[in-house]
Structure 1
């Protein structure tokens, strides 16, 4: 038995990296807003056999919702000689791309088409030093409009609140969907908390029937605030962040955000094991969750169709 133990060392020991590797993590919002997501990212790394601090040093940098800070933060990560950098959002990924062509980059971007914007060559073969997890389905925004229409049959005028820091791609797809459904759009910008309050004030004054909140790191970090504003103004609303519905908003429909961060951790692990970003196919969401807050629907005096409740992955009573 002793000889066998020497001849066949433990698999966990054999798979340990030879040295501690450095992983940069660049996030455009405040650090306080990303704690749970960063833990999901680390879980993805742990699932691949990497642990902190035995195998990895995580170097987090947060822009506190100021895009102008991203280039200097990206440069810091490059100066720290990170082995790979995870960058959340288009702006963060582009900041790192501008700072290095040598260090592998794993992007997480829910707002843009990476091929159309020139970030990568193709989904199957990204090329250069960037791969990651992306999500930009034009038809998806139309699906959000259809869900609102099912709950608010009288829907004719809708406010769409969007963060210009995330780029115009989402807004353009919503405009196309609204035109097809003959809906009037009230387009409102919100880059920060004061502007979010102003956007809801403007939506209320405009007399909209419902609100759609598009995706951005700022919006994803402030789902409780946004849910509170929809309740204050008695406005049916939808977004892709499930935390919104769990925090009191009417409805959410989108990919599981924590699963995405786990996937990004897994992609970073593949890079650490020697895979080149140029040859690592981009990952896309395959599962979407519908969450409906029935308590909020009752408060808004809305009747949720039975067939919609049956389709829901989660119903909050």
Structure 2
């Protein structure tokens, strides 16, 4: 007797965060499996059943801290799902998180390539370099806010990358000058500025700040920060050098720890500016730049397009579409600063 055809559709999201012990210490890893759509049918005969297609696997490589990974992966997967809305296959996201230790990235990238991912997403300059070194053939989607991709040899051109890598890049050197000018507008007496710089991001941003600081009569104290564990030491160094302001250049190290940096800047009574909106939203004085979570979503959309069949060589590089200026007036009052109306008018968000 024939069985009636029935179909069940469901969606399941599972997040597994674990740490595995190895000889070199604890290694955080995240494995996220997102079934976009599960369709189950009872058919008249087993011979009529189709073999399921291979589920696509995405590698997710990031140098930030594990605690900040989930919100970024969720936004990334929103972008992937949007690009693949016509497909009902599962997507397997296999993540490797360096937890602020960028020296681990080459090993983590090699693990993802060995796991035969279909696309490798890499966030941050060091992660992008590690992904590129791990494989010359696996499609790579990059999110890099600090590198000129053409000058660095990552792509042949913005509209036609021409290799196995494309992505979202934010290589606007003049942004460094804008950060310094905004901070000077908020703190007119600024004369000695600490600049936190992650050398793994390259010199592009730092050179832009150095180029404009002299004309503004601002002395720079450049402090290198190579991982999350160095941030508190960087503040101690800044205090010894008697700086009266802080500019935090863009880096995944800083982007995954904006609240901590905001707390330390407020503790040391430093007017400070940073790229990431969360910095001002959690107590920093100023933030100016793109919304980082939106950029992960944008990168996910590009990754979905690659999974759908567009080669990275033919997928144009994208840039951030929107920039936000956030002013924290509560922090300004704590620091004894009067923010000029001209700056408040330009702000997208003012925190009272």
Q: TM-score, normalising length from structure 2?
A: 0.82
Residues 45 and 51 of structure 1 are in contact (CA less than 8 Å); yes or no, is this contact kept in structure 2?
no
The residue number in structure 1 matching 2:120 is 85
1:70-109 equivalent positions in 2, closer than 5 A: 70-109=105-144
Q: Decide which of 156, 160, 163 is 1:125's aligned counterpart.
A: 160
Q: Does 1:116 align with 2:148?
A: no
Equivalent residue for 1:65?
100
Out of 139, 144, 166, the position equivalent to 2:201 is 166
Structure 1: 5+ residue stretches without partners:
1-11
Instruction: Say which one has the larger Rg.
Output: 2
Give the Cα–Cα distance (whole angstroms) in 2 for the partners of residues 46 and 160 of structure 1.
39
Alignment partner, residue 33 of structure 1: 68
Q: Out of 196, 200, 206, which is 2:231 matched to?
A: 196
Shift of 1:182: 2.7
Q: Distance in 1 between matches of 2:98 and 2:240?
A: 33
Residue of structure 2 in register with 1:256 after alignment: 291
Structure with the bigger percentage of helix: 1
| Alignment partner of 1:143 out of 162, 172, 178 | 178
Equivalent pairs counted in the alignment come to: 304
Deviations 1:21-46 (A, max 9, x none): 00110111232222111111011112
Query: Residues 75-129 of structure 1, C-alpha deviation per residue, up to 9 Å, x if partnerless?
Result: 1111111110100112111212112122100001011111111111111111110
Query: Which protein is richer in strand relative to its size?
Result: 2
Helix, strand or coil at the partner of 1:219: helix
Q: In the alignment, is the contact (CA less than 8 A) between 2:101 and 2:228 conserved in 1?
A: no
CA RMSD across the alignment: 2.1
Gaps of 5+ in 2: 1-36, 39-51
The residue correspondences of 1:196-235 to structure 2 (distance < 5 A) are 196-235=231-270
Tell me, what secondary structure is at the counterpart of 1:297?
Answer: helix
Instruction: Provide the rounded CA distance (Å) in 1 between the counterparts of 2:56 and 2:86.
Output: 10
How does the TM-score come out when normalised to structure 1? 0.91
CA displacement 1:194-247 (0-9 Å, x = unmatched)? 422122122222222211001111111111110011111101000001111111
Alignment of 1:172-191 (within 5 A): 172-191=207-226
Aligned to 1:293: 328
